[in-house]
Amino acid sequence: MKMYDMKKMSHEEHGMNGHHHDEPVEDTEIKSWKKRTLWSWLFAIPIAILMLSERILGVSLVPENYLVMIFLVLGFPVVFLLGWETIRGGIRGLLTFYFNMDSLISLGTIVAYLTGIFSYFGFMADYSGVSAMIMAFYTTGKYVESIARGRASQEIKKLLELGAKNARILKGKEEIEIPISEIKIGDVMIVKPGEKIPTDGIVLKGASSVDESMITGESMPAEKNPKDKVIGATINQDGILYIKAAKIGKDTFLAHIIKLVEEAQGTKVPIQEMADKITSIFVPSILAIALITFAVWWYLGGDLSRALGIGVAVLVIACPCALGLATPTALMVGSGMGAKNGILIRKGEAIQTMKDVKTVVFDKTGTITKGKPEVREIYTKGKNKNYVLELAASLEKLSEHPIAHAIVQHAKLKRYKQVSGFKIIRGMGIEGTIGRKKIMVGNAALMKEKNISFKEFEEKIEGFENFGYTTMIVSENKDAIGVIGVADAVKDDSIQAVTMLNRDGYKTIMITGDNERTARTIAKEVGISEVIANILPEDKAKKVEELQKNGFVAFVGDGINDAPALKQSNVGIAMGTGTDIAIESGDIVLAKGSLAGVVQAINLSKATFGKIKQNLFWAFAYNTIAIPVAMAGFLHPVIAEIAMALSSITVVTNANLLRMKRI
C-alpha cells in the first residue's frame, strides 16, 4: 500500500519544493480506531453491567420491561455508527462471497441486535446486548492492531527538507538571491562557508572542503577545487565556491535518491497474511455451520427462538476476536520489550520477516565504525610521542577539519602552545610557528612540496595506509619528527555482534562507498569476510536486490545514502545515532546505535513470532472445542460472549508471557 498520494507535479516546473505528501495513512487510522474504541466502551460498559447483574447474578438494576429498550438504544451507536465500517465490509463480503473477519462480526452483531426487536413480538429471547459487546471487543482489537502496525514513515518529506530553499547566483557583477525552483542550468551559484550547495554543479572558482556525509556516509570532508563536481544539499565548510549549476529538479542526485525510496516503499510482507488465509476458509465454514445448526434445531425442536439463540451462540463463540488480537498483542509486547532494549520496531511486518533473514548487510561508516576519525597510532623517531602530539595539537586547535578535531581530542591538553603565522594549505595540511620553530602537519604531498624528507618514515606510513589510516606527518624546522595515523574507529561491540551472527550461521557482508583497502581492513577487524567496496549510494539498493535472490536480506545503515537500501531490504535496520532519513526508512531502529541490537532484534523476532503462532493455535483450539458445545445447545449467547472474551484474554495473557523471554 502506498502511504502517500503523490501530487503529479513536475520537478522542472515547481522545483524540489513542489513535491507534496499527504498526512500518513497510519496516523489517521490510529486516531480513528482510538476514538471509536473509547466511544464503543462508553456505551458497552453500561450494557455489560446490566447484562451481568440481571442475567448472570439475577439482580435487576432497572425494570425488566425497560431493559431491552436500553440495550437497543445503547447498542445502536456501537453497532451501526461506530461499527458501520465493519458492518459494511462484512455485508459486502457476504454478498460478494469474499469472506473475512468482518463477515462473522457483522452477521453475529446484526442478528443479535435484531433479536432485541423481535423479542417485543414475544417469539424470541433478547440477545441485543451481546451485539454491542462483540463490536466493542472487535473495535479494541482493531485499535491495538493499528498501533502495532506502526506509524507511517515520513522519509520523503524529510528528504525534501534537506535541500536548500534559496540560492545566491551571479547576474553580471551582481549577487541576487532566488528560490531554488528558479535556478537554471548554467547559472553561477555563490556558496559561502556553512551554506548548503543549492543543486548539483561543477566548481568554477574557489577551493573548499565539502561535507558530503549526508550523501556518501563518509566522515571525512571532500576537498573541492575547480572542475570538481559537487552535489546539491551537501554543506560547504570553509571556503567560498563559485559553482555552475549542472542539474536541476528531478535530475539532481537528491531527487534521484527520493525516487529510489519511493519505488522501494510498500514491498514488505503483510504480517496478517497467514491469519487471513486461514480466515478465508474459517469464516464461510462457520457461517455454514451456524446456518445448519439453526435449521436443524428449528426443524427438530420447532422453537424458532431457541434455534436462533443457538445459531447466534455459534456465531458469537466463533467470532474471531482472539484471532484478531493474536498478532497485534504479541507485536505490542514484542515492541515494548524491544524499546526497553533500545530496539524500536517501526513496522510490525519486520517481526515476521526478520526470522527468515539469511544475510545481514552492513554499511561501514557510522554503522560498524563510529563515523568520526580518531587517532589510532603515533610513531616517532628521536622525539617523545607526547612532544610530537603537543606540537600537532597546538596547531590543529586552530583548524576546523575533522582530522584536526581527532588530534586535539586525543591530546586532551590543558594548555596549548602559542602559535603564530597559522596557515591552512588547502588539501594538504597546516603550518605555523611555535616559539622559533616552524611546524607543519600534513600529508606526504605537503612534505614533498616543502622539500621535507620523510624517507625514514615511509615504511611506517605504508603500514598505516595498509590499515586504512589517514597519515599526517609532523615536521619541525624542515625535519620530519613523527607520523600520526588517524582513522574511523570500530565501535566497541561491532566485533562481538558480527562474531555472534557468524556463529549463528548468518552471512555477513559489508557494503561501502569507501576504497577497497580501507574497507577490507575494517571488515577483517570485525570478522566480515565479504566486502563490496567503491559502491555509489544509488547502487546500494541494487546490490541488496541482487542478494535477495538468495534469500531474505537485512540491511543495517545510518546515512541518507542508505535510505533506498534500507527500504529495498526485507528488513531495514537503522542506527538511531544516524540521520533522521535513515531512521525513518528503517523497519527497526537501534536507538543506542549499537550493533548488538541486530542480534537482539533477531532473537526478539523469533520469540515474538513464536508467540504469534501460539496465539493463533490457542485461538483456533478454543474454537475447535467451543463450537461443538455451542452447536449442542449448551451455550447461552451471553455465556458464549463471556467465553469469547475469555479467549481474547487468554491470547493477551499468553502474549504478555513474552516479557519473561531473555533476548
Q: Which residues participate in catalysis according to the annotation? A: 363
Where b means 16+ CB within 10 Å and e means fewer, 577-611 reads: bbbebbbbbbbbbbbebbbbbbbbbbbbbebbbeb
Cell numbers describing residue 284? 464461510
End-to-end CA distance of the chain: 32
175, with CB counted inside 10 A (0-12, 13-18, 19+), is exposed
- Looking at the DSSP bridge assignments, the partners of residue 473 are 442, 483
Cβ 126 vs Cβ 195: under 8 Å: no
548, with CB counted inside 10 A (0-12, 13-18, 19+), is middle
DSSP type of residue 77: I
Radius of gyration of the chain (CA): 33
Residue position matching grid coordinates 549549476: 245
d(CA 653, CA 615): 10
What is the pairing mode between strands 357-363 and 507-511? parallel
d(CA 42, CA 51): 15
| Dihedrals phi, psi of 511, to nearest 5 degrees | -125, 130
Q: Which of 149, 145, 151, 147 is nearest to 326 (CA)?
A: 145
Cβ 637 vs Cβ 313: under 8 Å: yes
Q: What is the 3-state secondary structure (H, E, C) of 529-551?
A: CEEECCCCHHHHHHHHHHHHHHC
d(CA 411, CA 390): 7
d(CA 294, CA 292): 5
d(CA 361, CA 529): 12
Instruction: Tell me the helices (H) and strands (E) count for the chain, helix number first.
Output: 24, 22
d(CA 141, CA 139): 5
Angle between helices 321-340 and 596-631 (to 10 degrees): 160
d(CA 300, CA 287): 20
Cβ neighbors of 500 (< 8 A, separation 6 or more) are 599
d(CA 40, CA 42): 5
| Dihedral sign (CA 198, 250, 366, 221) | negative
Cβ 520 vs Cβ 512: under 8 Å: no
Cβ 235 vs Cβ 210: under 8 Å: yes
Cβ 530 vs Cβ 506: under 8 Å: no
CB atoms within 10 A of CB 100: 17
Cβ 602 vs Cβ 609: under 8 Å: no
d(CA 225, CA 210): 10
CB atoms within 10 A of CB 144: 20
Cell numbers describing residue 225? 577545487
